Amino acid sequence: MARGFAGAQVYRGARPAAQPAQPAPQAQPSAAPRYVQVGAFKTQASADALLEKLRSEGLPVVLVKDGSLLKVRVGPLGEGREEVVARLKALGLPTLAVP
């Protein structure tokens, strides 16, 4: 039946040689996380209070809803990441690096 198709190959039971598996791309170890999480709250009022505090400090802030939690994150951060983390710690806030 395959003879009727130009350029068709007929499988005759021999398997082609297995191709070696390509390794998965590795994450770059030097790539710093883009956000720093400074709080996770169950109530909007608590999250908003921290948001306003951080905005008054001139920091870029985002609110992420994750299930029943509202996570307050600072970022995206670039080259000045270490300075921002130092400022957050000086404000007495916990810091957690996140992508």
Number of domains in the chain: 1
Partners of residue 37 on adjacent β-strands? 73, 96
- Per-residue pLDDT 10s for the chain (99 aa) are 545 545 544 445 555 555 556 665 554 544 667 999 999 999 999 999 999 999 999 999 999 999 999 999 999 998 889 999 999 999 999 999 998
In a domain? residue 60: yes
For residue 15, the model assigns a pLDDT of 53
What separation, in Å, do the N-terminal and C-terminal C-alpha atoms of the chain show? 55
For residue 66, the model assigns a pLDDT of 95
Instruction: Name the DSSP class of 2.
Output: G
Provide the residue range defining the domain that includes 78. Answer: 40-91
For residue 18, the model assigns a pLDDT of 55
Contact by Cβ (8 Å): 47, 70: yes
Q: Is the dihedral of CA 63, 40, 81, 59 positive or negative?
A: positive
- What backbone phi and psi angles, to 5 degrees, belong to 77? -110, 150
Instruction: Name the DSSP class of 39.
Output: E
In a domain? residue 71: yes
For residue 12, the model assigns a pLDDT of 54
In a domain? residue 5: no
In a domain? residue 6: no
In a domain? residue 9: no
